[in-house]
Structure 1
């Protein structure tokens, strides 16, 4: 079945720059050149929240892994962490000396990586927003930075036409991929963490293996590619381009699967939901669209079957295929060997849900403490001001 347009949201007053789903798919966040952040509810008849705080265009948004925080980066050089509820409370910190193009949480939700026009990539703690370190080998704007799924690597994409791979512990650049013929707009890790995909102004999407540092796949389009997102299965990639289209690429067969037309004008951003059954896109037409994937082989068994029959277009796809095969095999055998009782499974699920809830509550507490600390500092400053003014009045009276 073909992907279908589920709903579209109107509310932004300028181009949409970024979209991201919360873990439970109940909310969708979007950022825009109108300086606002919108939190859309996926449930019918639920109102959207408009968050105002940034002084200039919002360039990027992302939900924390637990879904209890949203990070946004802006042309006003700051990053804000929001609680996605009615109040829309946020903490703010000055992250860079130029536009913040990209924000991304590590998969444990503890760290945040930001990328900027000041040519640097910076890593911060989410709690108290403490600066940890800076990566500064790019020689032009850095458009995008992402943690690997295991949090050990960082990948960054820049207008210096390179994609750089960094070791988070040693803080060194392990490799620079220089094959792009133009600026690199977007980069992301494959869910397995073994490869990366990058989109550029040379109208291409390139997939590299980060263990061998070699090019696996190369897709040539006919328009600038602004954004991309991997399907959680790792078998598909969705892209957003300046020709207003979204494209679904089948990575196992190395071919274009669908071209979707919905936006009027450039499609600026795209993102799969955490489970891969939906994806969202944003465009210069101020619209946010939600699409139902439909093409996803829900059962990994089906994926296996298609892999076995799928022939490669050329040798470059073999490595990706066998590698994904292996990942899928693991998932498959696990379910066969488990033979667990239904009750045990249910208990584990409820335990997982409880832990998820606790993590969420901790996120909110952290955020609340942070907000309180800020308020306290403001109050102390005001008090200091009052005392100073009092002193001045007394001195004036004395004289």
Structure 2
């Protein structure tokens, strides 16, 4: 579903996937929507009344995440088949696979310049890939359990990764060192978003809360309550729009977002 936030009404509702939808993302230009599903497919939608879609199929197991490159030309997907796949948006076709994870891959994201891909999964690792050589160039393994989510900050100098052990870690890619670690949730972290300024990070957890971290001061500054079940997706606009696992989307309008705006 696509919602009109000004009118607080549903704008479009599309059907196509045959199983649970695990990920959704607008293209940078806003003219396309990508979705991933447990039905092993990825779909690329045109967000109009007609809602036409193109189906991408190459994974052999559930697809856990989908994300556009920052130029909108490529998609990257992560799957239970232990692979990461890169797709051409313009050509609407599969390009190549990245294969070194030894268990399910939960999440994959492009760096802002598109030269790197970060991925994480149930093999307790976070991997960094070079998109030109298609090789894994680094692997971070400092996790007790599954790694659940990974993303770059807006400058591309750091990645953050979260774990089922409720930890959140930030790595400096210039030194390949762990520079910050947080343990603020009481259950596994499923999603997070960097604020556009890179000074804050918003995380969502199976403990049904949203936490806002001040990365400059290295501390938790806010906890947002309202969800009754585990949070699965979040984004920052810089208001925090948070989607939980079942049928409810919360859009938070709070004074804190006025003073952490870039």
Provide the TM-score with structure 1 as the length reference: 0.63
Q: How large is the Cα RMSD of the aligned pairs? A: 1.4
| Preserved CA contact (<8 Å) 2:197 2:261 | no
Please show how residues 34-183 of structure 1 align to structure 2 within 5 Å: 38-44=1-7, 46-183=9-146
Q: Which has the larger radius of gyration?
A: 1
Residue 244 (structure 1) aligns with: 208
CA-CA distance at 1:95 after TM superposition: 3.1
| Preserved CA contact (<8 Å) 2:25 2:34 | yes
* Cα distance in 1, alignment partners of residues 116 and 38 from structure 2: 26
* Cα distance in 1, alignment partners of residues 261 and 206 from structure 2: 34
* Cα distance in 2, alignment partners of residues 110 and 164 from structure 1: 22
| Preserved CA contact (<8 Å) 2:2 2:10 | no
| Preserved CA contact (<8 Å) 1:203 1:225 | yes
| Preserved CA contact (<8 Å) 2:209 2:231 | yes
* Cα distance in 1, alignment partners of residues 213 and 183 from structure 2: 11
Residue 200 (structure 1) aligns with: 163
1:281 corresponds to 2:242: yes
| Preserved CA contact (<8 Å) 1:268 1:284 | yes
List per-residue Cα deviations over 1:308-361 (Å, max 9, x = no partner): xxxxxxxxxxxxxxxxxxxxxxxxxxxxxxxxxxxxxxxxxxxxxxxxxxxxxx
Higher strand share: 2
CA-CA distance at 1:146 after TM superposition: 0.3
SS in 1 for 2:123: coil
| Preserved CA contact (<8 Å) 2:189 2:203 | yes
1:258 corresponds to 2:219: no
SS in 1 for 2:86: strand
Provide the TM-score with structure 2 as the length reference: 0.96
SS in 1 for 2:91: helix
| Preserved CA contact (<8 Å) 1:142 1:158 | yes
CA-CA distance at 1:128 after TM superposition: 2.6
| Preserved CA contact (<8 Å) 2:64 2:79 | yes
Change (3 A) 1:298 1:249: closer
CA-CA distance at 1:293 after TM superposition: 4.9
Higher helix share: 1
Change (3 A) 1:52 1:210: same
List per-residue Cα deviations over 1:221-266 (Å, max 9, x = no partner): 3211111000011111000011110000000000001011110121
Unaligned runs of 5+ in 2: none
List per-residue Cα deviations over 1:157-178 (Å, max 9, x = no partner): 1100000001110111111000
Q: 2:236 aligns with which of 242, 251, 272?
A: 272
CA-CA distance at 1:294 after TM superposition: 3.1
